[in-house]
Amino acid sequence: MCSEGFSGYIEIRECIEMPQKKTAPRKTSGTKPAKKSGAMVSAPARKVRVLIAKPGLDGHDRGAKVIARALMEAGFEVIYTGLHQTPEMIISAAIEEDVHVVGLSILSGAHNALVPEIIEGIRKSGGDDTLFLVGGIIPDDDIPSLRKLGVHMVFTPGASIESVVAYIRKNVKTRTLS
């Protein structure tokens, strides 16, 4: 059963009831081996953190859970907010969790009202380097206006999981540990 986090969102690894793949631990990317000469070594890159959110009244989250699980299996750290999140809840979770990517899953048609508010709130709170993705039922005519408002990519039905993973890897701005 899923456990609620401190702020009401949940860790996806506790939530999706699918069998876990058994994989060998992976070396964290972005670390450099120490040199014997005593030279400075740069801080390791943090694991990419992705927030998957379901804003508004949309009550169908199967696709969001599938994407969240696939991203987790691809090596990303994933936080899933659960259903019926307000823009304020999503903004708070994104800032508190210091995520690199915010993925919004919307099937209800409320994307033109909800997405701009969420992007603006995260940017005003210091998330200027956040990658914003939207997935769901988005009419083709609405995609250019969403892109203009700050959505980096829109994934509509039929988009492959591989294309989502590849897009994030290519476009995310990683941060180093301090």
- What pTM, to 2 d.p., does this model score? 0.77
C-alpha dist (Å) from residue 76 to 26, 46, 100, 101, 152: 12, 10, 10, 10, 18
Is 80 exceeded by the pLDDT of residue 175?
Answer: no
Is 60 exceeded by the pLDDT of residue 69?
Answer: yes
Cβ(136)–Cβ(178) under 8 Å? no
Total Cβ atoms within 10 A of residue 65: 18
How far is the C-alpha of 133 from the C-alpha of 52, rounded, in Å? 9
How far is the C-alpha of 86 from the C-alpha of 91, rounded, in Å? 9
pLDDT digits (tens, 9 = 90+) for 12-55: 444 444 434 433 333 333 433 334 444 544 555 679 999 999 99
Domain chopping of the chain, boundaries: 10-16+45-168
One CATH from 3.30.1330.30, 1.20.120.1770, 3.40.50.280, 3.40.50.1820 for 10-16+45-168: 3.40.50.280
Is 60 exceeded by the pLDDT of residue 125?
Answer: yes
So what's the pLDDT on residue 10? 52
What rounded mean pLDDT belongs to the chain? 82
Q: Which helix or strand (DSSP H or E) is residue 105 part of?
A: strand 101-106
